[in-house]
Amino acid sequence: MNNKTIKGFSLNGTERFHPGDADAVKKNTSIVEMEMPELKEGEILAETLYTAICGSDVSACLSKPNFDWIERPRVIGHETSAKVLKLGPGYRGKLKPGDLFIPVAQLGCQKEDCPGCRSGKWNLCPDKTILGYHRNGAFGQQMVLEADRAVPFIEGLDPVFGAIVEPLSVVVNAIYSKCNIKPGMDVLVTGCGIMGLMAAELARAAGARVAITGIEQDWNVRLKAARERGIITVVVSPKNPLLSLLEKGIRDQDGRTFGAKGKVDLLIECSGIPQVLAEAICAVRPEHDVCLIATYPSKVELDATHITRQSLNIKGVMGSHKDNFLVAQKLLVQKVFPAEHYINLYEFENINQAFADSIKAQTTKAVVKMN
């Protein structure tokens, strides 16, 4: 079975491209034919069902500096639903061929003396390995991976939605472990990529009133998707910076002002743009929280005295762990996060288009049908 030739989407190049250059994906990547390696102990062979394109996959294809560390060539992809085809030698776990699962993206070293791994939080392990970056991943039609990564499907989960359990699990980690949202809070989400949209949905489900920001080109796709769900949408530009829009008064659907005197109760930063973070922390009320889900292509210059004087709490969220995967699956099955509203499905032969649309922000979440 391992000798079957399958296709994969491989990251090869390291040429830097402008974030708007949709053709960049073809220059740094290629579709390759490959054979799966023999299984080692602890590994499984799986068929990928649906794999989603992550913002970090896009950044890797554009060769942003924060993704320089990925070895090339590499079949990327870490947000996926998959089916067990074969178990490696000596396997004694519960998985059987045919079982559906979601792999955790971040696998810890699982050593006794690792503080992250000891608490079950592989996402905090300094030696973690990420599927699709440290080893070939889910943009192959099959993949070999560590059995320890597999989180079984819960009852009722649609395999298409299974592809977004991983990103949703990160937002679950942020919202329920870091954000402390109370009903009636005004929550500002900066950045309307899928992490921002998911954060906006979960914050609202927790009882907050939510505004999400984007730029002009987001108006018709990403912000539209949020607007259709009753989330306040805000276009920021050099002419209309966030702080002055807030001070002038952003209105909700009922015409009431969002925030108090231009300040909000919580900021969830999902844009990954240094200037956005630097500006947005000034929109947070004293003694309130700033939650960072994004990573940044360069160091961010922050007004640290402002953080002191406003007694702000800045919290980072790195990835997610298995408990978060379980909660994310439940939120999808119970439709707390309405996945069908945000997913755009592509066939595998159109994977370049899926990447190009993601680069141009012409899709909310591109999911590729792998087989």
Give least dist CB 105 to Zn ion, A: 6
Closest CA to 103 of 49, 60, 31: 49
- Please say which residue, 30 or 295, places its beta carbon nearer to Zn ion: 295
Amino acid (one-letter) located at 259:
G
Residue 107 touching Zn ion (CB under 5 A): no
- Scanning 41-49, 121-129, 194-202, 232-240 for contacts with Zn ion by CB under 5 A, the matching segment is 121-129
Closest CA to 204 of 325, 337, 329: 337
Give least dist CB 167 to Zn ion, A: 5
Position among 22, 39, 125, 343 found at the interface with Zn ion (CB under 5 A):
125
- Please say which residue, 104 or 114, places its beta carbon nearer to Zn ion: 114
Residue 54 touching Zn ion (CB under 5 A): yes
352 SS3 class:
helix
- Please say which residue, 54 or 332, places its beta carbon nearer to Zn ion: 54
Alpha carbon distance 276, 215 (integer Å)? 11
Six token digits for residue 132: 């699709």
Q: What are the backbone dihedrals phi and psi of residue 205, each rounded to the nearest 5 degrees, phi first?
A: -60, -25
Position among 39, 87, 114, 367 found at the interface with Zn ion (CB under 5 A):
114
| Cβ neighbours of residue 336 closer than 8 Å, sequence gap 6 or more | 201, 202, 205, 330
Alpha carbon distance 197, 212 (integer Å)? 8
- Please say which residue, 117 or 284, places its beta carbon nearer to Zn ion: 117
- Scanning 90-98, 116-124, 272-280, 302-310 for contacts with Zn ion by CB under 5 A, the matching segment is 116-124
- Please say which residue, 193 or 214, places its beta carbon nearer to Zn ion: 193
Residue 117 touching Zn ion (CB under 5 A): yes
Give least dist CB 125 to Zn ion, A: 3
Q: H or E element: which one contains 228? A: helix 222-228
Residue 221 and residue 192 in contact, taking contact as beta carbons nearer than 8 Å: no
Closest CA to 136 of 48, 25, 22: 48
- Please say which residue, 8 or 167, places its beta carbon nearer to Zn ion: 167
Give least dist CB 295 to Zn ion, A: 11
By CB under 5 A, name the binding residues for Zn ion. 54, 108-109, 114, 117, 125
